[in-house]
Structure 1
Amino acid sequence: MKRRQLLQALGAGTLLSTLPTGLLAATQSKRPLFIDGMSFLPEDLADIQASGLSAYLCDISTIEEVKQADGTVNYKRTYKACKESISIAANRVADHPQTLLQGLSGSDIDRAMDSGRCAIFFQIQGADCVEDHLGQVDEFYAQGLRVLQLTHHYGNSFAGGALDSDANGGLNLPLTPKGYALIAKLNDKKILLDVSHSSEQTALDAIKASRQSVVQSHGAVRAIVPHARCSPDSVIRAIADSGGVFGVFMMSFWLTHDPVPTTDHYLAQLKHVAKVGGLDAVAIANDYPLRGHENLLKLNNDNAEGVKEYLDWWHSLRAKKVLGFDHEPVHVVIPELNHIERMSRIYDALKGAGFKAAEADKIVGGNWQRVLKSVLR
């Protein structure tokens, strides 16, 4: 029996009796368990409390802009830059023990909730930081790295990227031999494997190779928006069968082609993931700062103006004929969700759309907690 089927077979009758301590406490209090699959450390730590988050995956990496041979720009997380950035992040978390708790194991979510803090799980968006040897994974782990993405947009020596271009639009670029070795290392270290930004074939190869649950921390559904950065049902289903979760993010041009993005479009993405992978696979992600997309907030969520900053990059990928870039984007955010209180708004929207409280609890945090407790031990 697949892990997803086993989870579904447990049934609602045993749900409350088998909930982890922190999640059970959340269901019995007015504060739901909110976990976000992708955001960043805010400049103002008051944003942590305002967000209502109990935990989140936090990208602590520093990027280097690298111009590729075809003229497009990639953003590399180099070893040197990420060693420095993870040290800075760890020191900042340690300096604010009343607000933050560095998440090293899944049980730290309970510890954070019991003490009124937020558990921060360090993530790096791309394995480019592992430059010379797999021993560098040990170094990052010792500094608190707990989630690693194989690649970011474009491929590297480990994996194919979602926006790579080949005769098949980049979709068939596989996991490399180095990638298989890296996954074995991540499994051994109990580091959560994230296939966000991977090519379709790399994602499927990685999930099959992993001995642990695999996640897509932040992404969207290709059946709704046919785009290379959106995932096909085959990947969603494989993630679910691994016992992992698929976090739907806030980048509205990958959520809908309708001219005005709304919360209903976001719910449609969540419902599709649930239909394909089951309710246990559905999760929330952001991919913007906790407050929301900063430039759009400055523009009072004027999508027509805000989308302009993406067009040069978008057109460069259109010229390479990468899947989906032929459709001109007209928005960046869902205005009502580009807000510090997005999690509570999504929670209310789920209940308003007919989800039972226990189902909404899973989507906004319970599923993330289950996976983090399973892998980070």
Structure 2
Amino acid sequence: MRNDAMIFDGLQCGHFDRAVFESLLKGTVRCVTVTLGFWENAVESMDSIARWREMARANADIVSIAQNAADIDRAVAEGKLALLLGFQNAMLFEGRIAFVELFADMGVRVVQLTYNNQNDLGGSCYEEHDSGLARYGKEVIREMNRTGILVDLSHVGNRTTLDAVKFSQKPVAISHANADSLYPHKRNKTDDVLKALKDNGGVIGCATYRNIAGDHYCASVDNWCDMVARTVEIAGIDHVGIGTDRSHNTTQKDLDWMRTGRWTRGIDYGAGSAARPGKAPPADWFRDVQNIGEITDGLRRKGFSAEEVAKITHGNWRRVYEASLA
């Protein structure tokens, strides 16, 4: 495999199984952050960790759970898929600062500060008013930095995101989002946020999720790579990666849980809308999981050098992992 052909995906979700793992490996993915939860409390989150450990043991010939960059390197050398355990909300900490270290000890390596709602750490992208990073949010970031958990800001409001980028002493991630200036959406990030990411040393993982990428950028891999190239113009070649937000084997029940959890009896469309209420179809070029491997050639066709392609496909993520998972 060429060095620039290997892919690290900053976030995927859904129900994984051996077939998914095999498809990712066929698509040259060698590291992926998997979503273990959205609205779950501490005990439910521990149940999810236990399930993932059991699944990793059952598929130990092709996957391994990684704790740091060295573990990822080892998995790559063995031809396996490295799994980083992540959560898309900080509810697993339940307001207890000591739980950050406990979950780090259990192997959690990526946590998003907020999901789709305001919480006690800060503001969400969907709140009418973004409160900014709370005092407790600062304490959690400080503890995540100390214990080797990467701070994820994907669904976080832009003001809270800027606060977190500036406060964190280690590189942060916007694991699965796009530039708002390229496709306007509340889930996407404004240019000032992406430029601040440079000073922090962090990475944005460009997403293929149709609701936040749009039909044009989903129409072909070349169109999507054009979005990546334009994101590089904003954030810099060292701060852009891949974070597809690909969902595996999800049902309407899963979608309802992601969008409404336990917090409402009403209807919430998440990143969708009344006009597009259901599950968004995958990008036209990304119908099969292994199609992710087409990104590499797409980036080459955009004129990126082999070194630049390698940075986007995996190198920038590895640098952040080495700095933040230690």
TM-score by length of 2: 0.86
Match of 2:255 in 1: none
Letter in 1 for 2:30: S
Deviation at 1:242, TM superposition (A): 0.9
Match of 1:112 in 2: 75
Deviation at 1:43, TM superposition (A): 1.7
Q: Distance in 2 between matches of 1:275 and 1:286?
A: 19
Match of 1:47 in 2: 23
Instruction: Within 5 Å, give how 1:217-232 maps onto structure 2.
Output: 217-232=175-190
Q: Distance in 2 between matches of 1:338 and 1:95?
A: 27
1:130-187, Cα deviation, whole Å (9 max, x unpaired): 104111112211110011110111111111000112xxxx3x3211111011111101
Deviation at 1:47, TM superposition (A): 3.0
Whether the 8 Å CA contact 2:217–2:227 is kept in 1: the answer is no
Match of 1:352 in 2: 301
Q: Distance in 2 between matches of 1:230 and 1:39?
A: 17
Q: 2:287 aligns with which of 332, 338, 357?
A: 338
RMSD: 2.8
Letter in 2 for 1:59: T
Match of 2:256 in 1: none
Match of 2:122 in 1: 159
Deviation at 1:114, TM superposition (A): 1.2
Indicate how the Cα distance of structure 1 residues 294 and 79 shifts in structure 2: closer, same or farther if over 3 A, else same.
closer
Match of 2:136 in 1: 178
Instruction: Within 5 Å, give how 1:16-55 maps onto structure 2.
Output: 26-27=2-3, 32-40=5-13, 42-44=16-18, 45-55=21-31
Q: Secondary structure at the match of 1:147?
A: strand
Whether the 8 Å CA contact 1:256–1:265 is kept in 2: the answer is no
Whether the 8 Å CA contact 1:77–1:125 is kept in 2: the answer is no
Q: Distance in 2 between matches of 1:236 and 1:316?
A: 31
Instruction: Within 5 Å, give how 1:220-369 maps onto structure 2.
Output: 220-256=178-214, 258=216, 261-289=219-247, 328=275, 332-369=281-318
Q: Distance in 1 between matches of 2:322 and 2:124?
A: 28
Q: Secondary structure at the match of 1:336?
A: coil
Indicate how the Cα distance of structure 1 residues 338 and 234 shifts in structure 2: closer, same or farther if over 3 A, else same.
farther
Indicate how the Cα distance of structure 1 residues 332 and 97 shifts in structure 2: closer, same or farther if over 3 A, else same.
closer
Match of 2:150 in 1: 192
Deviation at 1:266, TM superposition (A): 1.5
Letter in 2 for 1:138: E
Whether the 8 Å CA contact 2:221–2:294 is kept in 1: the answer is no
Q: Distance in 2 between matches of 1:349 and 1:259?
A: 13
Q: Distance in 2 between matches of 1:362 and 1:259?
A: 21
Whether the 8 Å CA contact 1:253–1:332 is kept in 2: the answer is no
Q: Distance in 2 between matches of 1:233 and 1:137?
A: 31
Structure 2: segments with no counterpart, 5+ residues: 253-258
Deviation at 1:348, TM superposition (A): 1.0
Whether the 8 Å CA contact 1:222–1:233 is kept in 2: the answer is yes
Letter in 1 for 2:297: D
Indicate how the Cα distance of structure 1 residues 100 and 258 shifts in structure 2: closer, same or farther if over 3 A, else same.
closer
Percent identical residues: 24
Whether the 8 Å CA contact 1:293–1:338 is kept in 2: the answer is no
Match of 1:213 in 2: 171
Indicate how the Cα distance of structure 1 residues 196 and 117 shifts in structure 2: closer, same or farther if over 3 A, else same.
same
Match of 1:89 in 2: 52
Q: Distance in 2 between matches of 1:276 and 1:48?
A: 29
Match of 2:36 in 1: 60
Range 341-350 or range 36-45, more displaced? 36-45
Q: 1:204 aligns with which of 162, 166, 179?
A: 162
Instruction: Within 5 Å, give how 1:5-16 maps onto structure 2.
Output: none
Q: Select the structure of larger CA radius of gyration.
A: 1
Q: Secondary structure at the match of 1:280?
A: helix
Deviation at 1:328, TM superposition (A): 4.8
- Give the paired residue count: 310
Q: Distance in 1 between matches of 2:80 and 2:159?
A: 39
Q: Distance in 2 between matches of 1:33 and 1:258?
A: 26
Q: Secondary structure at the match of 2:29?
A: coil
TM-score by length of 1: 0.75
Q: Secondary structure at the match of 2:227?
A: helix
